[in-house]
Amino acid sequence: MQESYFSPEALSARLLATRERLRERAPLVHCLTNQVTVNFVANALLAAGASPAMTDHPEEAGELAAAADAVLINLGTPNAGSLEAMRRAARAANAAGKPWVLDPVGAAALPLRREVSLELMAHHPAAIRGNASEIMALAEAGTRGRGVDTRHDSQDALQAAGDLLTQTNGVAISGPIDRLLGRPAEAAEPLTISLAGGSAWQPRVTGTGCALGGLIAAYLAVAESPLEAMTVAHAHAAAAAEQAAHTAKGPGSFAMAWLDALDSVELTGFLASRLTLD
């Protein structure tokens, strides 16, 4: 394999091409997500160039997951009906060969969510996206978070993320510095990519994390590998957040500006300055 394949310049070029493919193809993303954020996630996907479907009825979930280009399963507000829909969607997506993302919201703090996440992982998510405490909990590292927040830095979860690569093709750990683990399309060994950026407004707006899970799913439909899908999704969200922060006067105006920026932001300069290969 060519050494240049792993250079930041070559990676940035592939990520920019992936961004353009998303705009061109507008992949259908089936989202089973947090009831609090469903509208925001749908609008974020539309702004980025994807086509969201937000159905969570158990009788429709499997059929739609098999037909979609990618699937997001987010455990933000589980109930009996939505959990059954998630089980059917994960099973159908795996059977149809469609990539899906697991976002195990609150799995570090709440046993039910952790148990359901472990059950769903039997259907091989293409990517798992969460904060450090959630990732460590899924790897049975004995951690406990506080609600959906994390008590750990993304660096703390690297070993746990590596352990999870036996059950998924990529792990995205969110934090002040995002860390993304997976195998490039032509590589046997895992690679870690670090990405700094974003805005302090993001954790003050409900739905930015859920929307990031949706963006990863959208990019999985068009990327060469889950690692590249996770990386360009995180870069897209962070670069848009920085652009939005320039005009935002508070959380409300930031949310609207972030959606606008997801549509308009250019990633070339951001990728060149923020991307590091570990």
Residue in 177, 184, 144, 145 with CA at minimum distance from that of residue 158: 177
What DSSP state is assigned to residue 146? Answer: B
Tell me: the pLDDT tens digits for 101-118?
999 999 998 999 999 999
Q: Taking residues 263-274, what's their average pLDDT?
A: 94
Q: What is the mean pLDDT of the chain?
A: 92
> Is residue 1 predicted with pLDDT exceeding 90?
no
Contact call for residues 214 and 30 (beta carbons, < 8 A): no
Q: Tell me the DSSP string of 19-35.
A: HHHHHHH--EEEEE--T
pLDDT band at 27 (very low <50, low <70, confident <90, very high): very high
Q: Residues 6 or more apart from 124 whose CB is under 8 A from it?
A: 94, 167, 168
**Residue for token digits 């158990």?**
58
* Backbone phi and psi for residue 32, each to the nearest 5 degrees, phi listed first: -110, 100
pLDDT at 187: 66
Residues in the chain: 278
Q: Taking residues 128-154, what's their average pLDDT?
A: 71
**Residue for token digits 């193809």?**
25
Domain ranges for the chain: 3-277
Identify the CATH assignment for 3-277 out of 3.90.320.10, 3.40.1190.20, 3.30.420.40, 2.40.50.100: 3.40.1190.20
pLDDT band at 227 (very low <50, low <70, confident <90, very high): very high
Contact call for residues 107 and 150 (beta carbons, < 8 A): no
Tell me: the pLDDT tens digits for 149-183?
445 566 889 999 999 999 999 999 998 899 999 98
| Token duo for residue 252 | 């409300």
| Token duo for residue 53 | 């479907």
Q: Higher confidence at residue 148 or residue 159?
A: 159
Rounded to the nearest angstrom, the gap between the alpha carbon of residue 271 and the centroid of all alpha carbons in its chain is 18
pLDDT band at 184 (very low <50, low <70, confident <90, very high): confident
Contact call for residues 17 and 58 (beta carbons, < 8 A): no
CA dihedral 41, 42, 47, 52 (to 10 degrees): 130
| Token duo for residue 244 | 């939005």
